[in-house]
């Protein structure tokens, strides 16, 4: 799994710059631990907090990793997600998302899916790059509001998975990326379930898929 998105793959066109965890740092060691446990194939075990580790740090490392994965997955289908094909940001006919970040755009705006996802991924990247929110140096404490920020990031990243599954699954199959997408999403879901990070109502657009992917591993 650590080679799920090898740089040698055809789809090296990424949507946003990759967020790197500095080598040699404790967070890098945690990321390596996560990759090693993923390799065992047991996703329920892989998402559990390693013994003696800080929950905030574990959530931070995995949030960065999910951002990079979703970034790459969406990057492979940007040609199919256009102003014309996706004039609104949706996850099927029942779910439509309007963008607001609370600072630059306070009142939610209706926009196309590519615009929404651009806003969303830029916003996430800004959070990840903020050293006061996501400290990369050892000994620098996480802020008190860290978990609520992480929950908002993961809630929004879920919407990109939901949009890809509902609106762009055909190109995913054409590109032979179905297994990548399913493994990445399953890992994401097990992680947010383990630490109760996304409200069930937010997961509704992919509820059937979630039940299908997770039922085998209860």
Token pair of 19 as six digits:
């967020």
* Residue 3 annotated as part of some ligand binding site: no
Burial status of residue 166 (CB atoms within 10 A of its CB: 0-12, 13-18, 19 or more): middle
Annotated binding-site residue? 6: no
Contact between 142 and 148 (Cβ < 8 Å)? no
Phi, psi dihedral angles at 196 (to 5 degrees): 50, 55
Query: Is 81 labelled a binding residue?
Result: yes
How far apart CA 15 and CA 117 sit, in angstroms, is 10
118, containing H or E segment = helix 113-129
Q: Distance between CA 79 and CA 54 in Å, rounded? A: 40
Is 166 annotated for ligand binding? no
Q: Is 114 in contact with 168 (CB distance < 8 Å)?
A: no
SS3 string, 128-180, reads HHCCCCCCCCCCCCCCCCHHHHHHHHHHHHHHHHHHHHHHCHHHHHHCCCHHH
Q: Which residues of 36-67 are buried (b: 16+ CB within 10 A; e: fewer)?
A: ebbeeeebeebbeeeeeeeebbbbbbbbbbbb
Q: Which residues are annotated as a binding site?
A: 81, 86, 163, 168
Q: Which residues are annotated as a binding site for Zn(2+)?
A: 81, 86, 163, 168
């Amino acid at each position: 799994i650590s080679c799920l998105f090898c740089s040698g793959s055809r789809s090296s066109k990424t949507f946003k710059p990759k967020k790197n965890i500095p080598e040699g740092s404790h967070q890098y060691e945690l990321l390596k631990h996560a990759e090693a446990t993923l390799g065992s194939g047991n996703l329920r075990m892989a998402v559990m907090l390693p013994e003696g580790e800080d929950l905030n740090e574990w959530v931070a490392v995995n949030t960065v990793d999910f951002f990079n994965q979703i970034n790459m997955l969406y990057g492979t289908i940007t040609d199919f997600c256009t102003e014309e094909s996706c004039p609104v940001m949706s996850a099927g006919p029942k779910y439509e998302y309007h963008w607001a970040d609370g600072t630059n755009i306070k009142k939610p705006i209706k926009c196309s899916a590519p615009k929404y996802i651009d806003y969303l991924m830029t916003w996430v990247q800004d959070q990840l790059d903020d050293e006061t929110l996501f400290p990369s140096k050892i000994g620098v404490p996480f802020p008190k509001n860290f978990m609520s920020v992480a929950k908002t990031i993961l809630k929004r990243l879920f919407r990109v998975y939901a949009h890809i599954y509902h609106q762009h699954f055909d190109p995913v199959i054409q590109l032979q990326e179905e297994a990548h997408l399913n493994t990445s999403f399953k890992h994401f879901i097990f992680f947010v379930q383990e630490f109760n990070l996304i409200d069930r109502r937010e997961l509704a657009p992919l509820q059937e898929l979630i039940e299908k992917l997770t039922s085998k591993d209860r």
